[in-house]
């Protein structure tokens, strides 16, 4: 790789750290102005960070003293400010500090947006993908044989402690196991790409000693990224002066160096996304007819780990977006993807189906026609895709994920069903038509814990027998498009979790818009007509259906039909000539919808007619709750004091003429709670 020394390289540094390197509650050391290192926990990336003491108090760097201090609410309650009390000093009780304080949602969003805008504005038209802009630009370095450059840097005040050969093995050695890692960087990308990408790095056999001290480059007072890029330029110039041929590292022939990695001795101690916080960005450096474009910089600490290095190279090689929430008020796609939580430092999980798909690493089969016994392997990057009939930006991907090998740290195993909208953003957990994730995991348990910020994934998120065997428009969660329309994606007969799973696609399925119809009427009153709808979840397989009833006092029209995905309206009429003669009580019927070949036949609707009402349901809304208790309180007369107000007649639940504690006892026996139907026979 050596050659005659070329003319001095042309370099220009642009302050554009643009992709994020997240941590999630990681224990780190930050430096106080007097040089002392203090232990903290950090959540965040280069756009926004939460820093806490080990005992849970939120911290902030004081803008005047530059000390790491306990945070307190500001007067406006939107943002946190410094209390002036340095970490480790006694906290005055008068301050009333609480643990785990946070900036307001709006303050976080504004901070993240401002940071992103500042970074992207200075990118000279070369910024990475941002939320809501469709698929990333396809790179030519996500497949084939790609070589990167990994420079090693140490400092006079922090010499390197990990041997360069160890770093070379970490990057390139097949079967590497140093520091507990599951293979090398080369192994990781070769495995997760199913052999589509072989990525190695040139590692110099000695460290480059930086021109300045570590403190100079890790200075939190300097605009973020400036000194990091200065450091990388120094190291590249040193390589150039030693006769290194940069032109050998342009595998795709586009005139740009494919990948530049920088590992530096020690760790970042500035915090709050300052100094040498790990990131991936862009800089300009030209030598040997090729130019630098993207780089990533990571601290070495006292060991090497795959997680951050592979995450940042996912940005650099494949142009992958981050798939966590920059505002940290939801979990993105959690521990199911390298570009979110990563799950393990030394054995990070695989990229999710969407990232493999856009990298060109998958065997993708479109789901078009009804098929049974479809098989899907967890080891061959096999996907199924269900496309939107009109919009190419929205579709579903299905993959098989197992808790083995690269995915050993997954929270669950089974079929992962991904809802993709390339114009979405994983900053938006609202799940509305306009605001939703770019990549959503359709969580089988229907709790949407990732969007609700409850956890980073659990053992009921993926689809498998015996519990989660049916995924479609009729399931909870459903497979509708983001505009609410039925997608027609229906998976059934999902097998037990395993390296090879099977399922059926496109079977007809009955979809009803209600499961119960209820009327409360006075004796002698008629029951009005009702309607409900029947639809077929499949847009592929027609469904012939019939509807029957267990009672002859309800007539169904029509009682049969054919659905090819459209919604049919069914009308119920009642035999009021008979019903108006019924005594007080509860009367029920079961309507059954049958469809040969439908995966969920039959489906039922309960019809309930209550004559005379429910005791204590004073507002006749079928529940007995606080609103009803308010009426009872307003009618209280006291023990043996006759209640003469006609409007309070219903409050005399024990029919003894007064409204007292005995009536309250009857009421409590009927209490159901808001929205919960009360027992008709309560007493």
pLDDT digits (tens, 9 = 90+) for 314-326: 999 999 999 999 8
Which DSSP state fits 393?
T
Q: Dump strand ranges (E) for 484-617.
A: 491-492, 500-505, 510-512, 516-521, 530-536, 543-549, 554-557, 560-563, 567-574, 585-594, 603-611
Only one residue has tokens 């609103």, namely 627
Asked if 573 and 521 count as a contact pair (C-beta separation under 8 A), the reply is no
CB 622, CB 533: distance < 8 Å:
no
In terms of Cα–Cα distance, which of 225, 207, 209 is closest to 217?
Answer: 225
Tokens of 17: 């750290």
Hey, is 421 helix, strand or coil? strand
Query: In 338-490, which ranges are E strands?
Result: 363-366, 371-377, 382-387, 394-401, 414-421, 439-441
pTM: 0.77
State the Cα–Cα distance between residues 69 and 93, nearest whole angstrom.
16
For the chain, what is the mean pLDDT? 89
Highest mean pLDDT among 70-79, 129-138, 495-504: 495-504
Which among 330, 312, 319, 582 has a CA at the least distance from the CA of 431?
A: 330
Nearest to residue 296, comparing CAs of 198, 171, 177? 171
Distance in angstroms between the alpha carbons of the first and the last residue of the chain: 91
Q: Examine the pLDDT at 129 and tell me if it is beyond 50.
A: no
Contact 129, 294 (CB under 8 A): no
Distance CA 180, CA 261 (A): 21
Give pLDDT, residue 352.
Answer: 98
Q: Which residues, 6 or more positions from 657, have their beta carbon under 8 angstroms from its beta carbon?
A: 642, 643
Task: Write out the H or E segment, with its range, that includes residue 29.
Answer: strand 23-31
| Whole-Å CA distances, 421 to 292, 315, 341 | 32, 19, 20
- The residue written with tokens 């926004």 in the block is 48
Query: What digits encode the pLDDT tens for the residues 488-530?
Result: 899 999 999 999 999 999 988 898 999 999 998 888 999 999 9
Q: b vs e for 379-394, b when ≥16 Cβ sit within 10 Å of the residue's Cβ? A: eebbbbbbbbeeeeeb
Rounded distance between C-alpha atoms, residue 177 and residue 647, angstroms: 81
For position 582, what pLDDT does the model report?
Answer: 94
How far is it, in rounded angstroms, from Cα 619 to Cα 621? 6
Q: What pLDDT shows up at residue 12?
A: 36
Q: What is the pairing mode between strands 294-299 and 279-287?
A: antiparallel
Residue 441 pLDDT greater than 50, yes or no: yes
- Angle, CA of 411, 412 and 416, to the nearest 5°: 120
Query: Between 46 and 636, whose confidence is greater?
Result: 636
**For residue 552, what are its two tokens?**
């002859």
The pLDDT of residue 589 is above 70: yes
Going by pLDDT thresholds of 50, 70 and 90, the confidence category of residue 7 is very low
Residue 677's pLDDT band (cuts 50, 70, 90)? confident
Residue whose tokens read 């349901």:
617
Selected residue with higher pLDDT from 12 and 112: 112
What are the CA-CA distances from residue 388 to residues 354, 366, 640 (Å)? 15, 11, 70
> Is pLDDT larger for residue 2 or for residue 97?
97
CA distance 294 to 285: 10
Mean pLDDT of 305-316: 93
Q: What are phi and psi of 179, to 5 degrees?
A: 55, 20
Q: In this predicted structure, which of 116-125, 178-187, 549-558 has the lowest mean pLDDT?
A: 116-125
Q: What is the predicted pLDDT for the residue at 328?
A: 83
Query: Tokens at residue 682, please?
Result: 């309560």
Over residues 87-114, the mean pLDDT reads 82
Q: Sort 18 into a burial class: Cβ within 10 Å, 0-12 / 13-18 / 19+.
A: buried
pLDDT interval class at 54 (50, 70, 90): very high
In this predicted structure, what is the pLDDT of residue 584? Answer: 82
β-partners of residue 502 are: 375
The position carrying tokens 């494919």 is: 258
The answer, yes or no, to whether residue 134 has pLDDT greater than 70, is: no
Strands 382-387 and 363-366: parallel
Confidence class for position 133, pLDDT limits 50, 70, 90: low
Contact between residue 122 and residue 14 where contact means Cβ atoms under 8 Å apart: yes
- Residues with Cβ within 8 Å of 557's Cβ and at least 6 positions away in sequence, in order, are 570, 571, 572, 573
CA distances from 555 to 529, 532, 581, 605 (A): 10, 13, 18, 14
Query: What are the pLDDT digits (tens) for 147-184?
Result: 999 999 999 999 999 999 999 999 999 999 999 999 99
The DSSP letter of residue 488 is -
Backbone phi and psi for residue 541, each to the nearest 5 degrees, phi listed first = -105, 120
Greater confidence, 475 or 234? 234
């Amino acid at each position: 790789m050596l050659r005659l020394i070329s003319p001095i390289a042309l370099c220009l540094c642009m302050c554009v750290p643009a992709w994020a390197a997240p941590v999630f509650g990681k224990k780190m050391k930050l430096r106080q102005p007097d040089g002392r290192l203090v232990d903290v926990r950090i959540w965040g990336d280069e756009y926004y960070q939460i820093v806490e003491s080990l005992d849970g108090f939120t911290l902030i760097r004081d803008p005047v003293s530059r000390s790491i201090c306990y945070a307190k609410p500001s007067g406006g309650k939107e943002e946190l400010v410094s209390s002036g009390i340095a970490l480790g000093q006694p906290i005055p009780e008068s301050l009333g500090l609480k643990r785990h304080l946070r900036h307001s949602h709006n303050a976080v969003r504004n901070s993240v947006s401002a940071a992103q805008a500042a970074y992207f504005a200075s990118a000279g038209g070369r910024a990475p993908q941002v939320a809501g802009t469709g698929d990333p630009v396809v790179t030519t370095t996500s497949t084939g044989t790609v070589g990167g450059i990994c420079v090693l840097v140490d400092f006079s005040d922090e010499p390197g402690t990990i041997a360069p050969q160890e770093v070379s093995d970490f990057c390139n050695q097949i079967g590497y196991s140093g520091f507990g890692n599951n293979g090398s960087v080369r192994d990781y990308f070769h495995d997760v790409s199913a052999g589509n990408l072989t990525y190695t790095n040139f590692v110099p056999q000695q460290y480059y000693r930086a021109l300045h001290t570590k403190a100079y480059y890790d200075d939190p007072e300097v605009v973020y990224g400036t000194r990091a890029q200065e450091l990388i330029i120094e190291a590249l110039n040193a390589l150039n002066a030693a006769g290194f041929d940069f032109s050998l590292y342009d595998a795709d022939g586009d005139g740009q160096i494919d990948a530049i990695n920088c590992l530096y001795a020690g760790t970042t101690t500035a915090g709050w996304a300052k100094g040498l916080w790990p990131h991936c960005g862009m800089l300009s450096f030209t030598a040997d007819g090729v130019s630098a474009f993207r780089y990533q910089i990571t601290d070495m600490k006292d060991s090497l780990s795959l997680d951050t290095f592979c995450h940042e190279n996912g940005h650099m090689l494949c142009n992958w977006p981050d798939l966590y929430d920059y505002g940290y008020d939801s979990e993105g796609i959690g521990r199911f993807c390298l570009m979110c939580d990563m799950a393990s430092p030394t054995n990070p999980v695989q990229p999710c189906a969407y990232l493999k798909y856009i990298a060109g690493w998958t065997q993708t089969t479109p789901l078009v026609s009804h098929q049974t016994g479809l098989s899907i392997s967890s080891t061959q990057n096999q996907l199924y895709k269900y496309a939107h009939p009109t919009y190419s930006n929205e579709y579903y991907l299905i993959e098989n994920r197992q808790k083995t090998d690269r995915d050993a740290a997954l929270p669950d195993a089974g079929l992962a069903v991904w809802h993709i909208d390339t114009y979405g953003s994983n900053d938006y957990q609202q799940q509305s038509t306009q605001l939703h994730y770019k990549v959503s995991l359709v969580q089988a348990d229907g709790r949407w814990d990732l969007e609700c910020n409850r956890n980073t994934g659990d053992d009921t998120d993926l689809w498998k027998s015996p519990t989660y065997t049916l995924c479609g428009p009729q399931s909870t969660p459903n497979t509708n498009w983001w505009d609410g329309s039925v997608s027609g994606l229906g998976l059934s007969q999902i097998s037990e979790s395993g390296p090879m799973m099977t399922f059926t696609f496109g079977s007809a399925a009955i979809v009803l818009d209600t499961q119960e119809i209820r009327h409360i009427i006075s004796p002698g009153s008629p029951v009005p007509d009702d309607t409900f709808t029947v639809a077929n979840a499949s847009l592929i397989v027609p469904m012939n259906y019939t509807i029957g009833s267990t009672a002859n006092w309800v007539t169904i029209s029509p009682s049969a039909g054919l659905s090819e995905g459209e919604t049919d309206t069914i009308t119920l009429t009642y035999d009021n000539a008979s019903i108006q003669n019924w005594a007080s009580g509860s009367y029920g019927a079961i309507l059954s919808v049958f469809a040969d070949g439908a995966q969920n036949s039959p489906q039922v609707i309960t019809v309930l007619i209550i004559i005379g009402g429910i005791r204590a349901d004073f507002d006749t809304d079928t529940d007995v709750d606080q609103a009803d208790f308010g009426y009872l309180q307003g009618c209280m007369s006291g023990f043996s004091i006759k209640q003469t107000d006609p409007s309070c007649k219903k409050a005399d639940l024990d029919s003894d003429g007064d409204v007292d504690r005995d009536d309250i006892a009857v009421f409590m026996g009927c209490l159901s709670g808001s929205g919960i139907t009360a027992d008709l026979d309560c007493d």
